[in-house]
Amino acid sequence: MKPLGIANTVLTLFLLFGFVTVSVFGQHGTGREPPNTSPPSKTASPKRNPPASRQSSCSAQSPTQATGRRRAVNLGGGVILEMLEIPAGSFCMGSNDGSSDEKPVHRVTLRQPFYMGKYEVTQAQWRSVMGSNPSLNEACGGNCPVEQVSWDKAQNFINKLNDNNDGFTYRLPTEAEWEYACRAGTTTEFAFGNSLSSDQANFDGDYPYGGAAKGVSRRKTIAVGSFAPNTFGLYDMHGNVMEWCQDWYHPSYHGAPSDGSAWLSGGDQKQRVARGGSMYGDGSVLRSASRNAEFTAVIKLSTTQEQSLITDCDLNCDGVGFRVVAVVRTQ
């Protein structure tokens, strides 16, 4: 797990001065299981191997290939955002073998196709639209995913795309759309089967999954598209950076929408869902069904001498990025 650094300082100050308001953020790039209101343990043992599979009453037949239709969104300066059309279909969302927030497994039907970014949004794409680059690993280059992006900052990027009025509405994927696109018709732990090594994705290779051999632990972003895509043609759905979704975080799927829409009622409305795990995560949190909760709160620090505000990504969320979805604009 990446050291918390400033976050530890914040908590130490809290103990010394009894600050009035402290909100603890999510796991900031570790991609580990959704946090509670206490800081995550640095010594928590990662899950390395899959448990025995449990039966589910859910059944669905999902497409295993994309439609073949593509979009190339011109961001200016010769920078293009490539998007692939994901077909409509049904799938079984969640896992009976994972954490409690991945249950119950339930059938979701997406009745309309949608376009999704072929890659995570890159530093070059972000710079072209926003004129800046928030990434900690800026030296990685323009073809690496942008990171240290809060949910609100991702919305700012998306709003600028929508300002072009090109006939499409751009947004973050819903959590159901994200898992559907990640699985690409598979029912295994990953789009590539039930095991994962760092030869297949960018994560902490010291903790592979499903009996895979240990590998390199890069602990930094790498160029998008460095590994094989899933059968929908999407790259890096497992690892590199966690990816924001629209939905509020809920601790289980009881009452979840069955139509693939964003779940924006109830739940913890200080936390949004992030998916896919990151370069800091162990193999278990890169599973297709694994969920992570990231806080979008503001930490208020106060002492007798000064007051300051630290926003959500001013601490340590260098493992958080996003990809974009587009649907035909209806009005």
Residue 52 structure tokens: 């025995």
What gap in Å lies between CA 155 and CA 180, rounded to an integer? 22
256 vs 289: CA distance, rounded Å:
14
> Consecutive 10-residue runs of the chain (331 residues): their mean pLDDT?
37 34 33 37 38 66 92 97 98 96 97 98 98 95 96 95 97 98 98 97 98 96 98 98 97 97 92 95 97 68 44 62 96 73
Alpha carbon distance 200, 296 (integer Å): 31
Residue type, 255: G
| Residue whose entry in the numeric block shows the structure tokens 């059938």 | 107
- Angle between the 151-162 and 123-130 helix axes, to the nearest 10 degrees? 60
Residues in the chain: 331
pLDDT tens sequence across 115-129 = 999 999 999 999 999
Query: For 217, which DSSP code?
Result: B
16 by Cβ neighbours in 10 Å (0-12 / 13-18 / 19+) ranks as exposed
Token readout for 91 is 């799938």
Distance CA 315, CA 5 (A): 8
The model's pTM is: 0.82
Q: Looking at residue 42, what DSSP letter applies?
A: T
pLDDT in tens, 76-99: 999 999 999 999 999 999 999 999
How far, in Å, CA of 185 to CA of 331, rounded? 31
* Peptide bond connecting 104 to the previous residue in cis, omega within 30 degrees of 0: yes
Residue 272 is encoded by which pair of tokens? 């949004």
Fold type of domain 6-36+58-328: paralog of FGE (formylglycine-generating enzyme) (3.90.1580)
Token pair recorded at residue 64: 């295993």
Instruction: Specify whether the CB–CB gap between 34 and 293 falls below 8 A.
Output: yes
